[in-house]
Amino acid sequence: MKLTILFGGASFEHEISIVSAITVKAKLSAIDLSFIFCDQDHSFYLIEPSKMKAKTFSKGEYKKMPKLSIGHGAFIQKSLLSTIEHKCTILNLIHGADGEDGTLAALLDFFSIKYIGPRVDACIFSYDKRYTKWLCEAKDIKSLKYEVVKSNEHKDIALSYPVIIKPARLGSSIGVSIVKDESELDYALDTAFEFDTTVIVEPFMQGVKEYNLAGFMANGKMYFSIVEEPQKEEFLNFEKKYMDFSRSEKVSKADLTDKLVSKLKANFEKAYKGMFEGALIRCDFFVIEGEVYLNEINPIPGSMANYLFEDFEASIELLANSLPHAKRAKVSYDYIHLISKAKGK
């Protein structure tokens, strides 16, 4: 199987995407891999696999590598004497804007390029935390109470302190703060507004149990990873999550009852079905007094959550061989021909 990892993008999570791609390369060593880098100017470059190192990008060495354009069904490499079409299945590994907001999904769909990753509608409902709340309401999935605050307005918070402030359209805990009393609120909002014009405010649940579960659908069947209980202090901050993007060692399975694992999987499946087909996602859950609450959906998890799967390579191959196909309308021009015939033209 041939697979092309597409990474980079123009977002606050650009460097994290690079770290993820390097990690996934090592985890998919038995697969025929190629690599396409999207820089901050949205130019595409074909990266030599041996050059998949952080300095290739931090020092701008990638600019010496073949530049690509995109066409129907392929990325295209042109030179003075030849044109090479790189037909491939893409693994979308661009975190944040571009990769998770639907931009790349729309581009790949437009050019009929197969890809592992969330489709446009899935991106919309997972990239913006407000819309994830709406998805939970529509699919009867419990989630925490929340408020929305915009940068062009100031309003008092109705939720009781402590609360957690999150940019609505950003991951990796960037711009996230815990606010323990009203005196800390303005600073936390200003921090979050550096990254987004809209923020989500939720109650901060001290000591709550948190569990991560990844999975995907292939050939009509759901496949799940193990359930992990992440190690954290107050919350999973940027530094902790950043290290997660380079994780490759398998983690220990959480010590849970079969009943709770079944609850987690049932809620995952509710969120996934009819929305995330074609993607491997990770859902982060809270468990409060035995009830499961969806915290976040990670449509392109760090390093593809490889550390949660017993056989990550086999999982990616299975998913790649059962991707959904978008139907294209066939244009026949029959209507125009009828009009022309009626007018005698």
Residue 146 CA to residue 297 CA, distance in Å, equals 16
Contact indicator for 113, 73 with CB cutoff of 8 Å: yes
- Quote the pLDDT of residue 238: 46
Pairing of strands 163-167, 198-203: antiparallel
Residue 342 lies in a domain: no
163 vs 325, more confident: 163
What CATH number should be reported for the domain holding residue 184? 3.30.1490.20
Q: Which of 142-146, 213-217, 242-246, 298-302 has the lowest mean pLDDT?
A: 242-246
With cut-offs at 50, 70 and 90, classify the pLDDT of residue 248. low
User: What is the arithmetic mean of pLDDT over 155-172?
Assistant: 85
Number of H helices and number of E strands within the chain?
10, 16
Same domain? 198 vs 211: no
Contacts 24+ apart (CB under 8 A), 44-52: 44/68, 44/69, 44/70, 44/75, 46/75, 46/77, 46/86, 49/25, 52/21, 52/22, 52/25
Residue with tokens 């709770």: 260
Please indicate, yes or no, if residue 66 is contained in any of the structural domains.
yes
Supply the pLDDT for residue 242: 47
Q: What would the two tokens of residue 227 be? A: 């359930």
The model's pTM: 0.89
Phi, psi for residue 106 in degrees, rounded to 5: -65, -40
What is the per-residue DSSP string for 167-191? Answer: ETT--TTTT-EEE-SGGGHHHHHHH
pLDDT at 251: 86
Contact of 261 with 277, CB cutoff 8 Å: no
Structure tokens at 225: 């990873």
The answer on 8 and 113 residing in a single domain is yes
Q: What is the mean pLDDT of the chain?
A: 91
Q: Are residues 261 and 314 in the same domain?
A: yes
Higher per-residue confidence, 6 vs 207: 6
Please give the order of strands across the beta sheet that includes 177-179: 147-150, 198-203, 163-167, 177-179
Q: Is the peptide bond before 203 cis (omega within 30 degrees of 0)?
A: no
- Does any domain span residue 169? yes
Nearest alpha carbon to residue 171 among 345, 19, 11: 11
Same domain, 221 and 178: no
- What is the maximum span of the chain, computed from C-alpha positions, in angstroms? 78
Mean pLDDT, residues 109-129: 96
> Which one, of 294, 300, 270, 265, lies nearest residue 282 by Cα?
300
From CA 64, how far away is CA 46, in angstroms rounded?
10
Q: Express each pLDDT in 298-341 by its tens digit.
A: 999 999 999 999 999 999 999 999 999 877 888 889 899 888 88
Residues 344 and 287: their CA atoms lie apart, in Å, by: 71
- The answer on 102 and 159 residing in a single domain is no
Could you tell me which residues are beta bridge partners of residue 201? 147, 165
Shared domain check, 82 and 47: yes
E strand or H helix at 221? strand 221-228
If you average pLDDT over residues 17-31, what whole number do you get?
96
Q: 102 with 248, same domain?
A: no
Average the pLDDT over 114-133 and give the result.
96
In a domain, 338, yes or no: no
**Do 239 and 130 belong to one domain?**
yes
Q: Which CATH number covers residue 27?
A: 3.40.50.20
Q: In angstroms, how far is CA 318 from the centroid of its own chain?
A: 19
Does position 244 have pLDDT exceeding 80, yes or no?
A: no
Q: What is the pLDDT of residue 305?
A: 95
The 10 Å Cβ neighbour count of residue 8 is 28
Tell whether 337 is covered by a domain: no
- When pLDDT is averaged across residues 80-100 and rounded to a whole number, the result is 94
Does some domain include residue 312?
Answer: yes
pLDDT of the residue at 247: 61
For the record, the structure tokens of 287 come out as: 């468990």
- Kindly state whether residue 104 falls inside one of the protein's structural domains: yes
Among 203, 225, 251, the domain boundary falls at 203
User: Containing domain of residue 192, as a range?
Assistant: 147-203
Rounded Cα distance between 213 and 203, Å, is: 22
Q: Is the pLDDT of residue 233 over 70?
A: no
Same domain, yes or no, for 192 and 81? no
pLDDT of 229: 94
Least confident piece of the model among 108-112, 201-205, 240-244: 240-244
State the CATH number of the domain containing residue 230: 3.30.470.20
Same domain, 171 and 68: no
Q: Is residue 32 part of a domain?
A: yes
Of the pLDDT bands very low, low, confident and very high (cuts 50, 70, 90), residue 76 is very high
Confidence grade of residue 345 (pLDDT, cut at 50, 70, 90)? low
Q: Tell me the per-residue pLDDT of 132-161, one tens digit each, with 9 for 90 and over.
A: 999 999 999 999 999 999 988 777 788 999
Same-domain pairing of 239 and 312: yes
Q: Is it the case that residue 70 has pLDDT exceeding 90?
A: yes
Number of domains in the chain: 3
Query: Within this chain, do residues 68 and 168 fall inside the same structural domain, yes or no?
Result: no
Portion of the chain with pLDDT greater than 70, in percent: 93
Sorting pLDDT into bands at 50, 70 and 90, what band is 232? low
